[in-house]
Amino acid sequence: MKRTPASPARPQRGVALLVVLWACTLLAILLGGYAMLARTEGLQARYQFAQTQAHYAAEAGVVRAIYGLQDPQPQQHWVADGRSYPFDFDGVRVSISVIDEAGKVDLNAATPEVLQNLFRAAGMPDAKALALAKNVADWRSFATTTPGVGIDPAYALAGRDYGPRHGPFATIEELQMVLGMDPAVYRVVASQVTLWSGRPSPDPATAPPLALAAIPGMTPQQAQALSAARQASQPVPGMVAPQGVTHSIRSEATLADGTRAVLRATVRLQGLRPGAPPYAVLRWQEGDGE
């Protein structure tokens, strides 16, 4: 009996089945990738939305602080000594603190003694604090100690291609350029210094902790008592917080899911004059980094 040869369709069907399986596998991989991409984009969109919500809540906190400083009812005025004022904005918790710039160490007006005390309170040894205070005074001084020399020899010896400005500090960040300024010390003192008070020494009624320690004659016990009274929102006998015009505002907004935004602004109040803005922004920063 003659045998019938095997049909060529069977191996073709096997190959087709493999192609279908590979196609299904590839399609599953592609679909999984698209699903992961869509999930990632969804998470990013939610994160960006939450960050935006927190940011605008923090901005609302800055505006609320400006209003509190200029409240038409004097007894409702906010005290600009660093105490915290809670605020709720559309379900977002906002914590606001305000410091009068008069309570900070003015880089352009503070005495060398105040500067030395500030750097010592920030952790510098006495000798380095004294040298840095002298360098700050030299930086802002109009009188050059080395006439006719392009770069100060001390700065050149330290590898700097610049010397002191011999003029007022233009920004707080410029303090980092002064010879002897340690980055760690700068991070500590940056929030304690200002360009806008014009005072040789901080006002103790509103000075933050390190600036308080920089005041000549201020003992640790006195500084501790002042800080404790502020935290308890108690008046200090014989000391009245001034109603200055230039203030630093820190506004921190926190959502229910923990998303957080921090804004820091230095503003100058300009009063309620027809056609004029009620305040001017002198400095604006996002986050707590310096």
Q: Are 82 and 278 in contact (CB under 8 A)?
A: no
Q: What is the pLDDT of residue 181?
A: 95
Decide if 119 contacts 128 (C-beta within 8 A): yes
Other CB atoms within 10 A of residue 82 CB: 19
pLDDT at 229: 74
Q: What is the CA radius of gyration of the chain?
A: 31
pLDDT at position 145 is 52
Q: Can you give the residue ranges of every domain in the chain?
A: 43-102+241-286, 105-201+207-231
pLDDT at 224: 82
Are 43-102+241-286 and 105-201+207-231 the same fold in CATH? Answer: no
Fold of 105-201+207-231: Ribonucleotide Reductase Protein R1; domain 1 (1.10.40)
Task: Provide the pLDDT for residue 150.
Answer: 62
Topology, domain 43-102+241-286? Pantoate--beta-alanine Ligase; Chain: A,domain 2 (3.30.1300)
Residue 151: the pLDDT is: 73
Q: How far is CA 229 from CA 57, 219, 237, in A?
A: 29, 16, 10
Give residue-wise pLDDT tens across range 111-151. Answer: 999 999 999 999 999 999 999 999 999 999 987 655 545 67
The answer to whether 61 and 94 are in contact (CB under 8 A) is: yes
Name residues of the chain where pLDDT drops below 50. Answer: 148
Tokens of 94: 């906002």
